[in-house]
């Protein structure tokens, strides 16, 4: 007992030391933004949080109070937020998880802090397992953007710390959290200008979703680190000397491209790791007056290009026209003496801070009207999306995400005013960007003086004049080619209004038909008609009736009993499917149950998904579909992120039966240099490989490069990997990928 007591005392002492060190770290991180009064307020918030959370621990085993301290430090150090945000970060879990009430918060810290804590409390950290509630929670998070941005900032910091400590979670929970982060938090961090945080999100997500590829690239980066550093020193030496000779106040940094970015480049450009020329970028950060920043950046560009030849197609001027998230920088790609292209970024200290800390830094430099206007404009777009309280939460999230990660183009009005739109925007997107009424009445546009249709895709520099007609009405086809969230939202609202008008006519038609059949017009009877014609709701039923797309003569197939409808045949298939979905969900505990592929699972059918064709050895999960039982997907399936983030309550753990030997279909794409006999070499390997059957094979050659697609049956990933290795050893084959 003495030993146990001493051990407990030792652990308590360790906890106290860890908490004290974490708090001191927070004070160091915030020293440049606080005075004596601020320090008292932060100390007060720390004491309240410490007492409220008491001996509670996180899943990692550490005292819970370390989490809010870490979130507060992230707000101060990585986002540059002030005392109010730090106080709210320290208190962010108290109302939800402890005895502290919102009134207590207001009494101790005032109304402003109460409002922010209230906003944070309404948004759960781990979103609900029910899809409709989950979409609503995402919506709540986005609502805070147009209310108090600090709620969103703290929520991003909260998620960042949870991602950094994700190791302590179960593997299935890790994948769910990663999917949520990939689905919303990473794009949101990007849109708010937190580039460093966005990159860290993506890095952690990739590390857990593609662990093997992550380790391979990480190893290659580590092995080439010394060579890279030597190259950077030699490359920057003449630039540094020239900048010093011209009395610039500057620093030069080298930034290595993130592992997910490297992998995307390998995939998109179809190159190997060694062929990627921009694994790193050189950044020149100068200091000087704001009004001279643009001139200084171009002077530095001129000095750099005195030594190295620039690529004219790779010059990007985001100083004259900043990105919508406030990013400002001058980018150029130049040829090094060793024949490698190197990206050089030139920016001021102010620009660098905004690039790293996003719109939190924006407030510090709010006198810069360009940044202020782009930010306020985007918040205005968010408010537009939130205008319709009846909007479906899932549709809202889908529309909102459209503009989070898109590149931008710059379009001019006839008067020369500049408008910033997402890449691939159409003339109709531009019309809605000007004003809703202009979009709804748009019939075409003059682009650079030439008449163009509504669906014409604009390019940067276009000058656009909208042509309108009061007779124009919004059409459903418009939704197929507009890309901005604003346009989609406004078109849907207008179509809904139009649908309601048409639906009222359909309702009258159905009423008359009921009278003819001597049936009472009740909500129960209308529900039966909805089910019979498989309509999602009454409005859609009335609308289809008014449009003449529903044959009301079929109502005779329904019999009446006590003046109420009863279907003459079996209940519609849709109803059966719905109950079967509910049956599976009600019988399955997705936190405890695991599908062992090859064994029976609670008497429910399951099958392998066609979208990713998993084979034994793949990391997999089960997903309860609405119409087709349970499907088994690979965890790196293209659809996995959406399924795990939006429908987590329908995701089940799955694993392969170790002794299962059944051939599964896999597909490979092989690319390389076309040569006589190469196809024969590939087919010989397949035919000579023991027990490999092909389903299909096709090869195409273009300008000396071939691409082959093969579908074949293999037993597991080990079996497939051996085959891929043999293909890669053929002379001329450059890449073999599973698709």
Active site residues: 96-97
What is the layout of strands, in order, in the sheet containing 464-468?
Answer: 450-452, 442-447, 464-468
Dihedrals phi, psi of 423, to nearest 5 degrees:
-60, 145
User: 640, 606, 671, 148: which is closest to 360 by C-alpha?
Assistant: 148
Helix axes 485-516 and 427-434, enclosed angle (nearest 10): 90
Task: Give the number of other CB atoms < 10 A from CB of residue 153.
Answer: 28
CB 368 within 8 A of CB 322: no
CB 341 within 8 A of CB 333: yes
Show Cβ contacts of residue 77 under 8 Å, excluding neighbours closer than 6 positions. Answer: 29, 30
Show Cβ contacts of residue 682 under 8 Å, excluding neighbours closer than 6 positions. Answer: 670, 708, 710, 727, 730, 733
Radius of gyration of the CA atoms of the chain, in A: 30
Task: Give the number of other CB atoms < 10 A from CB of residue 358.
Answer: 27
User: 192, 162, 196, 190: which is closest to 177 by C-alpha?
Assistant: 162
Dihedrals phi, psi of 38, to nearest 5 degrees:
-60, -40
User: 698, 700, 701: which is closest to 712 by C-alpha?
Assistant: 698
Q: How far is CA 259 from CA 498, 599, 600, in A?
A: 49, 38, 40
Distance between CA 182 and CA 260 in Å, rounded? Answer: 12
Beta-strand relationship, 630-634 and 606-608: parallel
Residue 123 parent element (H or E): none
According to DSSP, residue 258 is labeled P
- Which residue, chain included where needed, has tokens 């020193």? 233
Q: In sequence order, what DSSP letters do the residues of 312-357 get, joined into one string?
A: GGG-EETTTS--TT----EEEEEE-TTS-EEEEEEEEHHHHHHHHH
- Which residue, chain included where needed, has tokens 């990159």? 199
């Amino acid at each position: 007992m003495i030993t146990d007591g001493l051990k407990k005392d030792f652990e308590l002492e360790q906890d106290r030391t860890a908490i004290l060190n974490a708090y001191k770290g927070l004070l160091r991180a915030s020293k440049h933004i606080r005075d004596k009064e601020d320090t008292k307020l932060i100390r007060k918030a720390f004491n309240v949080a410490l007492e409220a959370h008491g001996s509670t621990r996180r899943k990692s085993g550490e005292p819970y109070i370390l989490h809010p301290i870490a979130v507060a430090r992230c707000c101060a150090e990585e986002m540059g937020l002030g005392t109010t945000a730090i106080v709210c970060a320290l208190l962010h879990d108290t109302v939800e998880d402890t005895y502290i009430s919102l009134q207590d918060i207001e009494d101790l810290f005032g109304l402003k802090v109460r409002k922010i804590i209230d906003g944070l409390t309404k948004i759960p950290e781990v979103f609900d397992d029910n899809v409709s509630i989950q979409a609503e929670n995402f919506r709540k998070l986005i609502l805070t953007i147009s209310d108090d941005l600090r709620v969103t900032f703290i929520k991003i910091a909260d998620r960042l710390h949870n991602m950094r400590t994700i190791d302590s979670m179960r593997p299935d929970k890790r994948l769910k959290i990663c999917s949520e982060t990939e689905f919303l938090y990473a794009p949101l961090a990007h849109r708010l200008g937190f580039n460093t945080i966005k990159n860290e999100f993506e890095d952690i997500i990739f590390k857990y979703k593609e662990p093997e590829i992550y380790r391979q690239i990480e190893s290659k980066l580590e092995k080439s680190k010394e060579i890279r550093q030597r190259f950077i020193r030699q490359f920057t030496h003449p630039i540094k000397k020239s900048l010093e000779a011209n009395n610039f106040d500057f620093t030069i940094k080298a930034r290595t491209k993130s592992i997910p970015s490297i992998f995307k480049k390998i995939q998109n450009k179809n190159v190997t790791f060694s062929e990627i020329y921009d694994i790193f970028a050189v950044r020149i950060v100068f200091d000087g007056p704001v009004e001279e920043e643009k001139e200084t950046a171009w002077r530095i560009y001129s000095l750099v290009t005195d030594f190295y030849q620039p690529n004219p197609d790779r010059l990007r001027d985001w100083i004259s026209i900043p990105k919508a998230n406030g990013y400002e920088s001058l980018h150029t790609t130049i040829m090094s003496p060793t024949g490698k292209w190197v990206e050089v970024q030139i920016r001021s200290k102010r620009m660098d801070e905004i690039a790293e800390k996003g719109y939190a830094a924006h407030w510090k430099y709010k006198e810069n009207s360009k940044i202020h206007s782009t930010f306020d404009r985007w918040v205005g777009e968010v408010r537009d999306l939130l205008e319709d309280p009846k909007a479906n939460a899932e549709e809202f999230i889908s529309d909102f995400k459209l503009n989070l990660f898109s590149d931008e183009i710059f379009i001019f009005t006839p008067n020369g005013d500049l408008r910033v739109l997402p890449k691939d925007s159409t003339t109709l997107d531009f019309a809605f960007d000007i004003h809703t009424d202009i979009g709804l009445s748009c019939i075409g546009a003059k682009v650079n003086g030439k008449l163009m249709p509504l669906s014409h895709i604009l390019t940067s520099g276009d000058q656009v004049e909208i042509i309108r007609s009061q007779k124009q009405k919004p059409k459903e086809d418009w939704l197929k080619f507009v890309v901005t969230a604003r346009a989609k939202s406004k078109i849907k609202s207008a179509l809904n209004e139009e649908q309601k008008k048409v639906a009222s006519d359909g309702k009258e038609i159905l009423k008359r038909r009921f009278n003819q059949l001597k049936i009472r017009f009740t909500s129960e009877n209308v529900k039966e008609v909805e089910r019979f014609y498989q309509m999602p709701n009454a409005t859609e039923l009335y609308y289809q009736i008014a449009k003449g797309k529903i044959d009301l003569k079929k109502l005779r197939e329904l019999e009446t009993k006590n003046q109420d409808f009863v279907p003459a045949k079996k209940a519609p298939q849709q109803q059966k499917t719905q109950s079967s979905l509910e049956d599976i969900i009600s019988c399955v505990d997705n936190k405890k149950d695991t599908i062992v592929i090859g064994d029976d699972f609670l008497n429910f059918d399951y099958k392998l998904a066609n979208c990713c064709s998993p084979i034994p050895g793949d990391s997999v999960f089960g997903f309860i579909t609405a119409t087709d039982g349970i499907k088994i997907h690979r965890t790196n399936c293209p659809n996995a992120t959406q399924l795990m983030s939006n429908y987590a309550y329908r995701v089940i753990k799955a694993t392969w039966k170790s002794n299962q030997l059944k051939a599964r279909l896999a597909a490979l794409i092989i690319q390389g240099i076309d040569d006589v006999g190469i196809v024969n070499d590939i087919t010989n390997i397949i035919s000579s490989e023991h027990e490999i059957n092909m389903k299909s094979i096709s090869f195409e050659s273009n300008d000396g490069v071939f691409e082959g697609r093969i579908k074949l049956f293999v037993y597991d990933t080990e079996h497939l990997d051996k085959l891929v290795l043999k293909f890669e050893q053929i002379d001329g084959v450059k890449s073999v990928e599973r698709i």
